[in-house]
Amino acid sequence: MLAKRIVACLDIKDGRVVKGRRFRHLRDSGDPPECARRYREEGVDELVVLDVSATLEERLASLRTIERIASAMDIPVTVGGGVRFVDDFSRLLDAGADKVAVNSAAVANPDLIACASQRYGRQCVVLSVDAYRAPPAYAYAIRSGTQSQDGDPVAWACEAESLGAGEVLLTSIDRDGTKSGFDLELISICYERLGIPIVASGGARDADSFADALSAGADAALGASVFHERELSIEEVKRRCAERGLVVRL
């Protein structure tokens, strides 16, 4: 059985780590390489780095920032932000990324997933889905949550899997930064329909909330503000997950 993963996320804006609620009201949370090193020392399994203003500014994630972060890491790093072309994957991978997350550009041009998967391998291609509740179902947004899309986010994730995506970074906009727990229903629906790993994001609250997300079907659970603000340690999360019978790397 593959071990479940605990992931830390660095949202980057203007060269600094930031964090807000539901993608809004961003506040400074520190220096990217410093945060990355701390999480690595604490035993995080992977790191996700998202340049949250890159798409809106029509540019690729800062390669210099990625290089600074990756140079301090010996664990997998996923990078997203402003990816529009297949060659952007090369630029981010060369800067130190192990996987590249794509969102808005893939919605506009799904062939981007297929081309990137063929060139770099499925394991490098991560579909980022920013979903929210739109009763009686779910909807999703692009461009850092500023533009809603028609359609079902889970169906879109399934299409991306068929095109060659190797993983889904599934974020609940409703839960982002709220510390109210992960959207377990959304995770469960994706788990039932997808055959690729799911990284659950949005709503991390306490150690049990991570275990809940992993038990609901996520292969990895991601935290940001609870780690930035030192409300929760990665060791504490892993210990609680193990106590609940989940296989984690201690």
SS (H, E, C) 170-207: EEECCCCCCCCCCCHHHHHHHHHHCCCCEEEECCCCCH
Q: In whole angstroms, give the CA distance from residue 193 to residue 187.
A: 10
- With 0-12 / 13-18 / 19 or more C-beta atoms within 10 angstroms meaning exposed / middle / buried, residue 108 is exposed
Q: In whole angstroms, give the CA distance from residue 163 to residue 106.
A: 11
Look up 130 and say whether it is catalytic: yes
Peptide bond into 135 cis (omega under 30): no
Q: In whole angstroms, give the CA distance from residue 97 to residue 92.
A: 6
Helix/strand/coil for 224: coil
Look up 11 and say whether it is catalytic: yes
* Catalytic, out of 51, 88, 98, 130: 130
What crossing angle do the helices spanning 63-70 and 32-42 adopt, rounded to 10°?
A: 30
- With 0-12 / 13-18 / 19 or more C-beta atoms within 10 angstroms meaning exposed / middle / buried, residue 214 is buried
Helix/strand/coil for 64: helix
Q: In whole angstroms, give the CA distance from residue 104 to residue 82.
A: 8
* Catalytic, out of 11, 98, 176, 183: 11
Active site residues: 11, 130
